[in-house]
């Protein structure tokens, strides 16, 4: 807690900021399900609360050093959130934190004026992170709250946060008036609600109030040990180290060892390339996150310690990892290099298998209810030894995290193709042609291949509500095209049939029926036969996708 001197000066230090972050996390843990339940569609995709929680937890595991200024600590905590960010609201939250850190740069302590300025920087960073900012979202809530609280010329930080929360709640209440889809669903913006719970938790700590522990661990555990599921017998006394060690380190640069501001990252990277490959080096503030495949990891440790000390160390035997992988997903040889690489987000064994066969180099498990983080993308990027990487997010709530990862990654050029559905991803991969060797041409062709693609989906309704002219009941099957519910019924097959009648088959030559885990092969073939009879000019294919949540995807190309 703050000491007497700080209280009299009405400032907060790095340790108090760490406590405020933890307080925000504890309060969000308590209210996470409430935030998740504010999803617009009554389907199992309410993950905003979980995404924001996992994002901010990336900052909680950063512990302030003794006598570390609030500016330096805020930067390290924000960097943790940037890498952990997932989902649109999580990415925006990480950008708010990034802006706050920029506003606190160089400060030992922060007073109310510093806090107000930092929050305004947070607003500016959040808006700049979104190509087309939409009002009625977390952006509106944080902007109006920060502007209102700053306008009052508050006497201390507690008064500032009280005013911030007061206006944030008022802004949240009006979000349905600004965003029609919220009004239709009868909910307020979930990201804005999550932000309020975080700030309320921080304010409770500032006031000395106790936030009850939910019983759930708040942060992540960092481990340097290999996964417990590995079979160590697959690397025995006679095995040969073919692939070297996957070496990942988080290095804190030390002023007594180097000039942090002018630290030569290029020279550091060149050394790592001289003793290994698949090199990734990212510097943010005084932290260097590095990755390298090498047979001599001790040389990496020794070299890095010339400039600082390690915060985390992970060294894994890649030959052991390789031997534990299924036959169709063995690690590529470290020296294999290619001009272009493809990363895609998908779930369901059948879908992932098809994506691999269609040219995807690395698949990130994820999609609805399971949005990958920026760090998940970076991990996939570094496993591809390519000059240019194209990314298929295949979900509208994943695009921002992919774009954030692309900005953070320096070892290759990364371009995110804005695929918003599995159907978009299939269309891009089915037309994939890398022969031109020109990145601009390939990107243009990928984007063009999505034009005209229509994706329908069938899933379960999770609450009683009225929407899009339907009186919906929990447990019903719903047919959805884009952002509109077009069919609802207690019978799954009938829901699919009604869905397809609302999909425009005109000018489409291919229909792909992808069945999920809860559907049957017989039912899928019946649906396909019906579609072949009704649309004779369209080729209909059935795939076993094995996806959770969605009983069917219907894709028109």
Q: Is 479 in a helix, a strand, or coil?
A: strand
Residue 385's pLDDT is what?
A: 82
φ/ψ (deg, to 5) at 141: -60, -50
**pLDDT for 417 beyond 80:** yes
Q: Are 500 and 531 in contact (CB under 8 A)?
A: yes
């938790």: which residue's tokens?
A: 201
**Distance between CA atoms of 395 and 381, rounded to whole angstroms?**
18
Each residue of 286-316: pLDDT tens digit?
A: 888 887 888 899 999 999 999 999 888 888 8
**144 versus 219: which is more confidently predicted?**
144
Q: What is the mean pLDDT of the segment spanning 262-285?
A: 83
pLDDT band at 229 (very low <50, low <70, confident <90, very high): low
Quick count: other Cβ atoms within 10 Å of Cβ 543?
18
Q: Is 62 in a helix, a strand, or coil?
A: coil
Q: What is the mean pLDDT of the segment spanning 29-58?
A: 87
Each residue of 254-272: pLDDT tens digit?
A: 999 999 989 998 899 889 8
**Distance between CA atoms of 27 and 19, rounded to whole angstroms?**
12
Q: Are 375 and 357 in contact (CB under 8 A)?
A: no
Q: Picking from 34-43, 123-132, 429-438, which range would have the lowest pLDDT averaged per residue?
A: 34-43
**324 versus 287: which is more confidently predicted?**
287
**169 versus 246: which is more confidently predicted?**
169
Helix axes 399-408, 70-84, angle to 10 degrees: 120
Residue 104's pLDDT is what?
A: 96
Residue 1's pLDDT is what?
A: 42
**pLDDT for 222 beyond 90:** no
Residue 225's pLDDT is what?
A: 34
Each residue of 378-406: pLDDT tens digit?
A: 989 988 888 999 999 999 999 999 999 99
For the chain, the average pLDDT equals: 87
Residue 510's pLDDT is what?
A: 92
Cα dihedral sign for 266, 268, 274, 278? negative
**pLDDT for 507 beyond 60:** yes
**466 versus 351: which is more confidently predicted?**
351
pTM: 0.78
Residue 230's pLDDT is what?
A: 57
Strands (E), 186-269: 245-253
**Distance between CA atoms of 496 and 540, rounded to whole angstroms?**
15
Sequence-distant (6+) residues with CB within 8 A of 198 are 24, 25, 27, 28, 52, 56, 93
Q: Which two tokens stand for residue 496?
A: 């699919």
Rg (CA), the chain: 25
**328 versus 146: which is more confidently predicted?**
146
């Amino acid at each position: 807690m703050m000491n007497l001197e700080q209280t009299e000066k009405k400032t907060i230090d790095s340790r108090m900021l760490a406590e405020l972050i933890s307080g925000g996390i504890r309060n969000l843990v308590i209210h996470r399900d409430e935030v998740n339940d504010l999803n617009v569609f009554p389907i199992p995709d309410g993950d905003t609360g979980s995404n924001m929680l996992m994002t901010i937890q990336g900052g909680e595991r950063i512990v302030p050093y003794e006598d570390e200024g609030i500016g330096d600590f805020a930067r390290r905590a924000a960097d943790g959130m940037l890498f952990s960010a997932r989902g649109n609201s999580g990415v925006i939250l990480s950008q708010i934190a990034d802006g706050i850190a920029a506003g606190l740069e160089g400060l030992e302590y922060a007073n109310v004026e510093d806090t107000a300025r930092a929050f305004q920087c947070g607003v500016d960073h959040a808006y700049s992170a979104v190509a087309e900012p939409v009002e009625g979202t977390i952006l509106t809530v944080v902007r109006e709250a920060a502007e209102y609280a700053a306008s009052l010329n508050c006497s201390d930080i507690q008064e500032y946060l009280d005013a911030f929360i007061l206006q944030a709640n008022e802004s949240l209440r009006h979000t349905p008036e600004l965003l029609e889809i919220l009004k239709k669903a009868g909910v307020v913006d979930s990201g804005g609600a999550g932000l309020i719970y975080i700030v309320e938790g921080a304010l409770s700590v500032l006031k000395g109030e106790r936030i009850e522990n939910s019983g759930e661990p708040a942060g992540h555990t960092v481990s340097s040990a290999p996964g417990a599921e590995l079979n160590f017998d697959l690397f025995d006394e006679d095995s040969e180290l073919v692939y070297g060690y996957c070496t990942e380190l988080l290095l804190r640069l030390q002023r007594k060892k180097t000039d942090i501001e002018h630290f030569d990252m290029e020279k550091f990277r060149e050394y790592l390339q001289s003793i290994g490959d698949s090199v990734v080096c990212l510097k943010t503030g005084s932290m260097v996150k590095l990755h390298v495949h090498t047979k001599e990891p001790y040389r990496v440790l020794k070299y890095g310690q010339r400039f600082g000390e390690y915060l985390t160390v992970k060294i894994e035997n890649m030959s052991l990892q390789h031997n534990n992988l299924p036959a169709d997903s063995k690690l590529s040889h470290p020296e294999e290099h290619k001009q272009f690489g493809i990363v895609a987000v998908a779930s369901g064994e059948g879908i992932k298998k098809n994506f691999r066969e269609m040219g995807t180099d690395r698949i990130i498990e994820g999609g609805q209810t399971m949005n990958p983080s920026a760090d998940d993308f970076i991990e996939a990027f570094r496993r591809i030894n390519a000059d240019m990487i194209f990314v298929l997010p295949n979900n509208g709530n994943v695009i921002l995290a992919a774009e954030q990862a692309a900005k953070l990654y320096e070892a290759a050029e990364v371009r995110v193709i804005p695929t918003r559905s599995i159907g978009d991803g299939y269309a891009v991969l089915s037309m994939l042609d890398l022969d031109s060797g020109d990145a601009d041409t390939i990107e243009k062709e990928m984007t063009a291949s999505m034009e005209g693609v229509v994706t329908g989906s069938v899933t379960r309704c999770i609450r009683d509500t009225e929407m899009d002219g339907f009186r919906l009941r929990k447990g019903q099957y719903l047919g959805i095209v884009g952002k509109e519910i077009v069919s609802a019924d207690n019978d799954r097959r009938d829901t699919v049939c009604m869905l397809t009648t609302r999909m425009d088959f005109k000018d489409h030559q291919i229909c792909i029926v992808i069945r999920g885990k809860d559907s049957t092969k017989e039912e899928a073939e019946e649906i396909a036969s019906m579609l072949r009879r009704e649309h004779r000019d369209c080729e209909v294919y059935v795939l076993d996708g094995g996806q959770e949540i969605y009983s069917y995807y219907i894709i028109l190309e």
